Chain A
């Protein structure tokens, strides 16, 4: 038996769908104009000479330069270093916050989120003040006799890494904290009553249940770290050059639009590769979870 629907009603439903679709148009238009068109333009520009003729010379020039490959290495070192430190610092902090009473946890979270609400240049300036040769941290270190000489903490890799971890840590913390908050405390109580030690509970109950949050946090950290510009540009002092600062130098200092575009495309390719790897990792994680629940 077939149900016959009044064609006028069908037309009405179609018209309404078109209307709802049209409500998205202004937002889609601006994204097309100011995000998608610019990316396409970078691709176009990477094949153009300064005179505007088509060439693959830009690629030959950029890919044969040792600077490009060292920039690629620096980008990966900074991103993976930032991620590793975020996991080391953020996971215990999230565990402490998740185990606190809700009122205390909310208050502490507000403080943890303070950097997120502080302008990036304000924070970068704060780190410059703290890490300079005669800055606060060096004064404290030499004053207390921990070190005899001033440590080079800024305008180098160390300073850049500190600034980047400081930016990424709250972003990493949010999903990890949310995942740990969602763990049923009865699971921990049950494990304790069955004689599991604290270490065993953390290893076999808390960590597997917060793996999803740690994964999301890691994805966020990687996505933001790969193209991060302000921190390396200021705290790196010209000595730390990931792809982002190379792009700026090619564009602003050398007016070399072609090279800047090729470097931009390398950044895009790197993002895509990491995206594919993360998708594969998520699938593996899900499979492991299924396998574990069947075991």
Chain B
């Protein structure tokens, strides 16, 4: 964009040095935990004097962390399995209805993503407390689904807008009912977008911390809840090991999705 100004080399150098500093700021905290996780020492020394896998052993050997990992994976899977079909149906509905009706449905569905997490968390806590459901997997699941639905909608709405509805018309005129039209035509055609929506919903649940902190407890504590509690108490390199594994998994998933979408 600025190639019309080849003579302003100094300005360009200043701009890019500044940009490089800001990018370093953005990546620093994610990268700094990696070497730390392989440290052999109890202390958070940087760079570590000796390397080991003890913090990874510590993580995989701890019953508490393993229970939290299990809870988080179950929750993420259930969240994706519920939120994505709900979001797909809602997006079909918005796409076909159009106009003001679709706009109002959309603004209702997006409410949870603009409401502060702390408000959803304490409100859900009150509601669940009245039903004696605080600390159950169900309580956290409901909270995660409501956050994952808008995320899945953001992925699926543009995909449906590009979808050729004549195919559904054709199938319908040949006698297919709506369930058949959705399952046999829309779902297979949107499989890539559905895959992204599923992964986004899964990641939304995996990373969600505020609702978990208030509503999950005991055996049903999630990874973020346990990390939050241990960060407040003490900081040992076990969390560095968890952080490294976590980031590696997320980066792999994102790269796979990006590559599949390109091909």
Chain A interface (Cβ < 8 Å from any Cβ of B): 17, 19-24, 26-28, 30-31, 33-42, 45, 89-90, 92-93, 95-99, 108, 111-112, 114-115, 117-130, 132, 135-136, 139, 166, 169-170, 180, 183, 185, 188-189, 191-193, 198, 201, 206, 223, 226-230, 233-234, 244, 247-248, 251-252, 257, 260-261, 264, 267-268, 271
A226 and B251 within 8 A (CB):
no
Interface residues of B in 67-116 (CB under 8 A from A): 82, 85-87, 89-90, 92-94, 96-97, 101, 105, 108-109, 111-112, 114-116
Complex Cα–Cα for A288 and B98 (A): 31
Chain B 42-73 per-residue mask, 1 if CB under 8 angstroms from chain A, else 0: 00101000000000000000000000000000
Chain B residues within an 8 Å CB radius of A228: 116
B250 and A118 within 8 A (CB):
yes
Complex Cα–Cα for A4 and B111 (A): 42
B29 and A35 within 8 A (CB):
no
B44 and A132 within 8 A (CB):
yes
Among B44, B94, B116, the residue within 8 A (CB) of A267 is: B116
Chain B residues within an 8 Å CB radius of A260: 122
Shortest CB-to-CB span from A163 to chain B, Å, is 9
A20 and B96 within 8 A (CB):
yes
Chain B 199-219 per-residue mask, 1 if CB under 8 angstroms from chain A, else 0: 000010011011001100000
Chain B residues within an 8 Å CB radius of A257: 126
Chain A residues within an 8 Å CB radius of B108: 28, 31
What are 14 sample pairs from A and B whose C-beta atoms fall under 8 A apart? A28-B109, A34-B145, A37-B127, A92-B18, A111-B27, A114-B26, A114-B30, A115-B27, A118-B30, A120-B224, A125-B240, A166-B25, A198-B8, A229-B210
Given A24-B89, A41-B126, CB of A93 within 8 Å of CB of B19: yes
- Is B28 among interface residues, defined by CB-CB distance under 8 A? yes
Given A119-B207, A227-B116, CB of A136 within 8 Å of CB of B32: yes
Chain A residue at smallest Cβ distance from B25: A166
Given A24-B89, A92-B18, A234-B228, CB of A34 within 8 Å of CB of B1: no
Overall SS of chain A's interface: helix
- A126-B30, A129-B32, A169-B25 given; name 13 further pairs at CB < 8 Å: A28-B90, A31-B111, A38-B123, A92-B19, A115-B26, A118-B29, A119-B224, A120-B209, A123-B30, A126-B29, A129-B33, A198-B11, A248-B118
B1 and A244 within 8 A (CB):
no
Chain B interface (Cβ < 8 Å from any Cβ of A): 1-5, 8, 11, 15-16, 18-19, 22-23, 25-33, 36, 44, 46, 82, 85-87, 89-90, 92-94, 96-97, 101, 105, 108-109, 111-112, 114-120, 122-127, 130, 142-143, 145-146, 149, 153, 178, 203, 206-207, 209-210, 213-214, 224, 227-228, 231-232, 235, 239-240, 242-243, 246-247, 250-251, 254
B228 and A230 within 8 A (CB):
yes
